[in-house]
Amino acid sequence: MSKISVIIPYFNRSSYLPYAVDSVFNQEGVDIEVIIVDDGSTVPLETQRFSTPSLADRRVRIIRQENCGPSKARNTALDAAVGEYVLLLDSDDYLEPGSLRKLSSALEENKCHGAVGGWRDFNSSGTLHLKIPKPFYSDALANCVKQDWISGCVLLRSDEQCRFNTRRMPWEVTEFYLDYLQDTSRNVAYVPSLVIHARQDATERLTTRHDHFEPAMGARFWSEMKQKLEDCGQLTLERASALDFKILANVHTLLRARRVTEGRELAESVSWQRIENYPWYRFGSFAWFCKRGGVGFGGDLFFAMNRILCLV
C-alpha cells in the first residue's frame, strides 16, 4: 500500500487544526503520515501535542520554523515527506471520509500523476458552494485553470523537483499545481464525489488579506502563468484557451468598473489570433465584441448592447 503524505501549514489556528488532523485519521484503507509545519506560531504547536489527542498520534510529525509564510512551510514539509503521494491540506479545512482512498484508487487504476475530486466551500451558516469537477479539456493543466482546483482536492505523485514559489501570495497553490502539470504528459483522474470541505470564515485568511478577487491582480497572475508556459514551449491551444478565458473574465470586470486603461493593458496578453479556435468563443459574447471592435470600442459596445437588452 502506497503511503500518502498529508501536508499542513499551520499558524495560530489551534481551534481548527484538530478537526483537520482528525479528518485525515478518519480515512480508511490508506497508509498515512501527517506533516504539520508550525510557521512560527505565537505558542509553539509542539507544546500542545499531548493535550490534543490527534496531535499525539505517532503518524504526526511537527516541524517548527521561523515565520516565513505558507509556501515556505509547505516546501519544508515536501522536503520531509516520505510518501509516494502528497496531498495539501489547509489547517482550517477537513477531508470527507473515504476521500483519500477514492483519490489514491483513481490515481493507481488509471496510472495517472494525480487525481482530483470535488470541494465544498462553507462558513458558519452552511454550504456556500459545491463543485464536483468534470474534465472540459483533454489537458490536465487547462482543466486546473478552468476549474480553480483548491488545496485539498488533488492527490499527486511526489515530485522532488516541484516546489512552491515563496514569493507568490495569493494563488500560490494554483501556481504549484500549474508547475506540477507543466509537462503535457502528466494526466489526472477524476473522482466524481466530494473530497474536501473548505472553510471560508476563518479569521485572518491570507486570501482575504491579499484580495485574490481583485481583477487587475487576477489578470496579471494568469498572464504571468501564460507567459511562463510560452517561455518553456508548453503553451498548447487548450492551455491558451483556459488562460485567456481567465484573463478576459478579469478584463470584463475591469471595464465594467470603468477601469479602462488597466483593462486594455491586460487584454494585450490575450492570443487574439487564436481566440476563434477556443471552445468557449461565441458570437455576441464579450470576447467576440472585443475581437471585432477592439477592447475599448468593442467592450463599450458590448455593455451598451446588454443595457439596451435589459430595458426591452
Instruction: Summarize pLDDT for 81-116 with one digit per residue, the tens.
Output: 999 999 999 999 999 999 999 999 999 999 999 999
Q: Is residue 253 part of a domain?
A: yes
pLDDT the model gives residue 210? 56
- The residue among 137, 170, 202 that closes a domain is 202
Question: Which backbone phi and psi does 64 adopt, to 5 degrees?
Answer: -105, 140
Among 14-23, 43-52, 226-235, whose mean pLDDT is lowest? Answer: 43-52
Indicate the number of domains in the chain: 2
Q: Kindly state whether residues 194 and 220 are assigned to the same domain.
A: no
Residue 300: how many other CB atoms lie within 10 Å: 15
pLDDT the model gives residue 312? 40
**Cα 167 to the center of its chain, rounded Å:** 16
CA quadruple 249, 246, 224, 67: dihedral, nearest 10: 100
User: Which amino acid would we find at residue 155?
Assistant: L
Q: Is residue 208 part of a domain?
A: no
Distance CA 160, CA 43 (A): 31
Q: Kindly state whether residues 252 and 161 are assigned to the same domain.
A: no
pLDDT the model gives residue 184? 97
The answer to whether 74 and 46 have CB atoms below 8 angstroms apart is no
DSSP state of 110: T
- The residue among 168, 202, 236 that closes a domain is 202
Burial bucket for residue 125 (CB in 10 Å: 0-12, 13-18, 19+):
exposed
Asked, as a colleague might, if the bond just before 170 is cis with ω within 30 of 0, I would say: yes
Q: Kindly state whether residues 58 and 154 are assigned to the same domain.
A: yes
Tell me the three state secondary structure of residue 125. Answer: coil
Q: Kindly state whether residues 257 and 147 are assigned to the same domain.
A: no
pTM of the predicted protein model: 0.95
CATH of the domain at 124: 3.90.550.10
Name the residue with higher pLDDT: 27 or 310. 27
pLDDT the model gives residue 311? 56
Q: Tell me: the pLDDT tens digits for 116-151? A: 999 999 998 999 999 999 999 999 999 999 999 999
pLDDT above 70 coverage of the chain, percent:
96
pLDDT the model gives residue 203? 59
* Backbone angle region of 119, left / alpha / beta, with phi > 0 → left and psi within -120 to 50 → alpha: beta
Q: Kindly state whether residues 133 and 54 are assigned to the same domain.
A: yes
Q: Kindly state whether residues 16 and 163 are assigned to the same domain.
A: yes
Q: Is residue 209 part of a domain?
A: no
Mean pLDDT value of segment 277-298: 95
Query: What's the domain range around 254?
Result: 215-311
According to DSSP, the residues that pair with 88 across neighbouring strands are: 7
Question: Which backbone phi and psi does 229 adopt, to 5 degrees?
Answer: -65, -40
pLDDT the model gives residue 209? 59
- The residue among 173, 202, 231 that closes a domain is 202
According to DSSP, the residues that pair with 85 across neighbouring strands are: 4, 157
pLDDT the model gives residue 213? 84
